[in-house]
Amino acid sequence: MERTRSAGTPRPLPSRPAPGAFGEVLARELEGLKYSSHARDRLRQAGRALSDQELAGVEDAVQRAATKGARDSLVLLNDLALVVSVKNRTVVTAVAGSRMRDSVFTQIDSAVIV
């Protein structure tokens, strides 16, 4: 066996991400909501985009539902209804405008009105 460095030579340190980088990314992922492709399609079909204020309101509603132990919640926001998997922090579907009329939402255990 061949020795490549002397016993007193320090090993080079592996490259490390910036301090807190992983924690910051993890926190952003845990805080932010994901939107399923179905929900994005529904919003696009309705010609509906959420403002920063509305996005913050939905995230707050999901957080409030989570503190109450909700698993699947209906979030009502102005002319928009969102079904959210609270556990997965994912908006599953969206119903906008007049399509909300006569709609029946199933498999939810809570509702949050924003």
Q: What is the pLDDT of residues 19-39, one digit of tens each?
A: 566 665 555 555 689 999 999
- Quote the pLDDT of residue 30: 56
28 occurs within a structural domain: no
Domain range for 86: 33-113
55 occurs within a structural domain: yes
This prediction's pTM: 0.72
13 occurs within a structural domain: no
pLDDT in tens, 99-109: 888 899 999 99
12 occurs within a structural domain: no
41 occurs within a structural domain: yes
Of the two residues 104 and 18, the one the predictor is more confident about is: 104
Q: Count each helix (H run) and each strand (E run) in the chain, helices first.
A: 3, 5
80 occurs within a structural domain: yes
63 occurs within a structural domain: yes
Among the listed residues 34, 32, 46, 30, the one whose alpha carbon sits nearest the alpha carbon of residue 81: 46
Both tokens of 17, joined, read 């991400």
Split at pLDDT 50, 70, 90, the class of 93 is very high
When divided into structural domains, the chain yields a total of: 1
Split at pLDDT 50, 70, 90, the class of 97 is confident
